[in-house]
Structure 1
Amino acid sequence: MKLVTMFAFGALILSPFTQANAPQKMTQQQIDAMVAFSVQQMHREGEFSSMSQCTGVSAQKLEQAFRHSLSTCFSHHSVDEHKMDACFKQEIIAQTGLSQSTIDNCAGENDVQDEQITQLEVQIEKLERDIEHTEEHALSDTQTAQLEDKMAQLDHLYTELHQLQDQAMYGQLSENEKRLEKLYQELGDNAPTAAQEAKMKQLMDAIALEKQQELSQLMQVIGDSQRQ
């Protein structure tokens, strides 16, 4: 459950309320639109399913808890991001019966992957600087062999990095996008059959509709807030 991402987005939507001279609460219409958009994003990224697998709580119950918590906290704390965050975490615990440690562990799975990517990027940057510095000087046979070893290490690190980045990107795909990606992988370099072409078009049309609906909901939430 990407709480950090969700509240960063929430802060963007709430900026017209918090930046005004006198903070304004969200209307019920704005709250409903924000909740609907957030739930759609959670569904799109498979967050309820992955959180269910991690916690043992059904995806349906998690969605109900998410809707209730978000609506309740927006109603009472929409002008204060920090109170909103604290309220949401309290409500989620109350609605699901999960402990804070369980929520943190499950919500932190993506953080672990991000940290792995960051660590690899730091290693790659350090190794590239080392290689660049080494290449500036005349090298003995031993130093040349060491340089080749470092370049091989660099290739290996880049392979690991790309694999992690691909996994992270795949985790952000909607179910239709995952199906389309799987179809592309199955095809490889082969030409698609008529049935596969039809399936690809069906999936691409569905993905385009999803994007259009997301944009429409986002514009509605932003537009409602700016009209206040």
Structure 2
Amino acid sequence: MRLYKCLVGLMLSLLYVGSLYAQDVKVKEPEGRQSYQRVYLVDLGLGVGFPGLLGDGNSSWHTGKSQGRTAFTSSVQLMTYSPRSNIGYGLLYYAYPNSGTKNYDGVMVSEMNEKTSFYYVAPQISLIKRQLGFPDGIMYVNAGVGYANFKSQGLMLQKEEYKTTRSAVGCNIGIAYEYAFDPRLGIRLAVNCVYARIKGLHKDTGGYPNELSIAPRSNLHLFVPSLELGLSYYMVHW
């Protein structure tokens, strides 16, 4: 929660500073001549992820059929582009901060519950196609490599708590289509995929109760495709 408050505060500050900057920057160009002013934008996205669609799901335990649960995702992109080029660059923050307490098929509630979270931060590059479909339509293809963090915690047999947190190198790829309905604002529909191989999840497996019917994972191939709806704010418009 503290992290989200900091992120919200940072985004509001960036939007405020960007709006002041955009008001001050007024490039006068001769009529009919294109302005090559660099574009900066902030994109905020919310959506749903499907960590159980491919890979091992998003559980640190061998849970069988119940890996297909969904998770609410959020993302923040800080990007910059030049009208002279179709390539941009910037930063991506992606997360599902709390996928909720989960119980699994064939496992009693009194035996095990689990709460997981995932965070990912990466520099990324972006290939864009302007005026696609509409004069104000833009397609983005993004890719990056960055830092991933996965956490699993819960309660075993209603009495013994466990917690495991691991970091890894991850990668992301995404495609989005945006319609700029205002010189400063655009609405974006995006499909994002983030992958990370998490190693060393449960090291002290011998310390877990023998009564458990599920086994802990040592490694996890976490693949999270997601569908998001985003709002883009242009600090300097096209």
**Could you tell me the TM-score, scaled by structure 1's length?**
0.21
Instruction: Compare the two structures and name the one with the higher strand fraction.
Output: 2
Mark the structure with the bigger radius of gyration.
1
Question: TM-score scaled to structure 2, two decimals?
Answer: 0.20
Bigger share in helix: 1
